[in-house]
């Protein structure tokens, strides 16, 4: 019935006075009910985001949220948690992917039949981007990479692609919410090329779409993370962990699921998050050394560190960057010795005092100690069941 009325609403504008009369006889409402002048018919997109979309059901996976979201970068770490949460509220999710079918296969299981729609695209082909955005009313951009490859520079992935998506979304005309995932510490004056590119992307997006929402997560932790996993793998393999600098750099790691929840909270609000930048850090600030201790504690190994001063760490990481475009084969993906990340971690990166945060989105981020780092038990000597798990040592109350 709702759909029929909406369709009729469109017909009123096009109908001749005679047919309008007959429609009025079907729906005996006063004259002011007809036409877009009526506040009820007028678009509220600019001010309300997706808050007014037609919803059906109780809000679960099999209901309809009215959101049709194209999630660029859905095949990555944050993507799987975000797609899961979008699907769980009954949204349709279009998943552009560029690699093999396997890169998106795990996402299909997160929704009902037809709810998650993988679409092959080419990020360098404007028409294919338009095709994956065509049916969407929400665009979320998670594309990013913390190292350069032979094919893609930091600028292209983290800035130009993001800008192109915003331009296309603007041309599209029907995108109600645009969310860009940037990085905590993004700044034009950062020592890290990636963070400078992220800052340029934020500026370009807010210039194209001033009502876009920007999320700046801190380092994300979770089952597939790229901080604690490489540390644990290195520690297991070489029986020590390189601690770059003196380990006193402060960061504010955040649980990946909380970042996905923040994006959903922004989507669900009445438009208050439109045009805002949110800094998403966890509840605790850790030094690199403290975070490494948490990792060692969870994998139940005795901590062994080798302190590597910044200049030496940079010297170790530089050859890859120098050879990247000079050798005729791909260079290995950098993990711990990633030159740009070493630059980024040379200064403290925590949520700024006046920033909008999780709190403004109504979310209390979880402490890392406990469930969020429990995936690390897979690295325990003797198997994951060795000893009690961290969460068993803590009462659930202390997680909050």
Ligand X SMILES: NC(=O)c1ccc[n+]([C@@H]2O[C@H](COP(=O)([O-])OP(=O)(O)OC[C@H]3O[C@@H](n4cnc5c(N)ncnc54)[C@H](OP(=O)(O)O)[C@@H]3O)[C@@H](O)[C@H]2O)c1
**Which range touches ligand X (CB under 6 A), out of 18-26, 74-82, 263-271, 336-344?**
74-82
Instruction: Specify the residue, 103 or 335, whose C-beta has the smaller distance to ligand X.
Output: 103
From start to end of 195-292, where are the E strands? 213-217, 220-221, 241-244, 250-251, 254-255, 277-280, 286-287
Residue 7 CB, nearest approach to ligand X (Å): 37
According to CB under 6 A, which one of 103, 128, 272, 357 is a site residue for ligand X?
103
Identify the burial level of 354 via C-beta atoms within 10 angstroms of its C-beta, where 0-12 means exposed, 13-18 middle and 19 or more buried.
exposed
**Which range touches ligand X (CB under 6 A), out of 46-54, 215-223, 261-269, 304-312?**
215-223
Residue 93 in contact with ligand X, rule: CB under 6 A: no
Residue 300: left (phi > 0), alpha (psi -120 to 50), or beta? left
* Token pair belonging to 68: 């049709």
Of all residues in the shown chain, the one whose CB is closest to ligand X is 76
**Residues contacting ligand X: total by CB under 6 A:** 22
Residue 186 CB, nearest approach to ligand X (Å): 9
Q: Cα separation of 189 and 200, whole Å?
A: 11
According to CB under 6 A, which one of 217, 282, 370, 372 is a site residue for ligand X?
217
According to CB under 6 A, which one of 49, 76, 90, 365 is a site residue for ligand X?
76
Residue 351 in contact with ligand X, rule: CB under 6 A: no
Instruction: Specify the residue, 45 or 368, whose C-beta has the smaller distance to ligand X.
Output: 368
As a dihedral over the C-alpha atoms of residue 207, residue 210, residue 213, residue 219, rounded to 10 degrees, the angle is 20
Say if residues 188 and 200 touch (Cβ distance below 8 Å): yes
Instruction: Specify the residue, 34 or 178, whose C-beta has the smaller distance to ligand X.
Output: 178
**Beta strands 68-72 and 92-97, pairing class:** parallel
Calculate the alpha carbon distances from 107 to 95, 96, 128, 351 in Å. 9, 12, 21, 31
Residue 224 CB, nearest approach to ligand X (Å): 7
Burial pattern 297-307, b for ≥16 Cβ within 10 A else e, equals: ebbbbeeeeee
Residue 193 in contact with ligand X, rule: CB under 6 A: no
From start to end of 254-343, where are the E strands? 254-255, 277-280, 286-287, 305-308
Instruction: Specify the residue, 225 or 269, whose C-beta has the smaller distance to ligand X.
Output: 225
Residue 268 makes CB contacts below 8 A (sequence gap 6+) with 50, 51, 89
Instruction: Specify the residue, 111 or 123, whose C-beta has the smaller distance to ligand X.
Output: 123
Q: Tokens 């998650």, residue?
A: 116
Instruction: Specify the residue, 123 or 271, whose C-beta has the smaller distance to ligand X.
Output: 123
Our measurement of the distance from residue 6's CA atom to the centroid of its chain's CA atoms, rounded to an integer in Å, reads: 33
According to CB under 6 A, which one of 139, 219, 294, 331 is a site residue for ligand X?
219
Residue 73 in contact with ligand X, rule: CB under 6 A: yes
**Which range touches ligand X (CB under 6 A), out of 39-47, 61-69, 96-104, 244-252?**
96-104
Tell which positions 132-171 bind ligand X, by CB under 6 A: 142-145, 152, 157
Instruction: Specify the residue, 195 or 313, whose C-beta has the smaller distance to ligand X.
Output: 195
Residue 144 CB, nearest approach to ligand X (Å): 2
As a dihedral over the C-alpha atoms of residue 58, residue 60, residue 62, residue 67, rounded to 10 degrees, the angle is 90
Nearest to 220 by CA among 375, 359, 99: 375
Contact set with ligand X (CB under 6 A): 73, 75-79, 98-99, 103, 123, 142-145, 152, 157, 181, 183, 217, 219-220, 226
């Amino acid at each position: 019935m709702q759909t029929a009325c909406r369709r009729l609403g469109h017909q009123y504008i096009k109908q001749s006075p005679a047919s309008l009369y007959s429609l009025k006889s079907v729906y005996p409402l006063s004259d002011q009910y007809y036409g877009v002048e009526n506040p009820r018919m007028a678009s509220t997109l600019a001010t309300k985001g997706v808050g007014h979309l037609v919803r059906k059901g109780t809000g679960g996976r099999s209901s309809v949220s009215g959101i049709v979201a194209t999630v660029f970068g859905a095949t990555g770490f944050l993507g799987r948690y975000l797609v899961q949460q979008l699907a769980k509220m009954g949204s349709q999710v279009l998943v552009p992917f560029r690699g093999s079918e396997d890169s998106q296969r795990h996402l299909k299981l997160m929704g009902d039949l037809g709810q998650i729609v993988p679409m092959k695209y080419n990020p360098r082909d404007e028409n294919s981007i338009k095709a994956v955005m065509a049916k969407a009313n929400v665009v979320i951009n998670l594309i990013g990479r913390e190292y350069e490859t032979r094919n893609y520079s930091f600028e292209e992935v983290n800035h130009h692609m993001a800008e192109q998506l915003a331009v296309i979304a603007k041309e599209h005309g029907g995108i109600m919410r645009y969310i860009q995932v940037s990085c905590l510490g993004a700044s034009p004056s950062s020592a890290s090329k990636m963070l400078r590119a992220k800052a340029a992307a934020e500026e370009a997006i807010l210039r194209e779409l001033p009502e876009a929402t920007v999320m700046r997560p801190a380092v994300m932790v979770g089952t597939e993370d790229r901080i604690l996993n490489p540390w644990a793998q290195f520690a297991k393999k070489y029986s020590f962990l390189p601690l770059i600098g003196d380990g006193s750099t402060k960061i504010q790691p955040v649980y990946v699921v909380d970042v996905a929840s923040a994006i959903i909270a922004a989507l669900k609000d009445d438009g208050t998050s439109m045009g805002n930048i949110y800094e998403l850090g966890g509840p605790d600030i850790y030094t690199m050394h403290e975070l490494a201790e948490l990792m060692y504690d969870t994998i139940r190994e005795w901590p062994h560190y080798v302190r590597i001063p910044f200049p030496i760490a940079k010297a170790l990481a530089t050859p890859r960057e120098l050879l990247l475009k000079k050798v005729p084969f791909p260079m290995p993906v950098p993990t711990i010795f990633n030159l740009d990340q070493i630059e980024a971690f040379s200064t403290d990166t925590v949520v700024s005092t006046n920033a909008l945060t999780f709190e403004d989105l109504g979310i209390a981020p979880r402490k890392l100690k406990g469930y969020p780092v429990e995936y690390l038990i897979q690295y325990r000597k003797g198997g994951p069941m060795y000893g009690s798990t961290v969460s068993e040592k803590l009462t659930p109350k202390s997680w909050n």
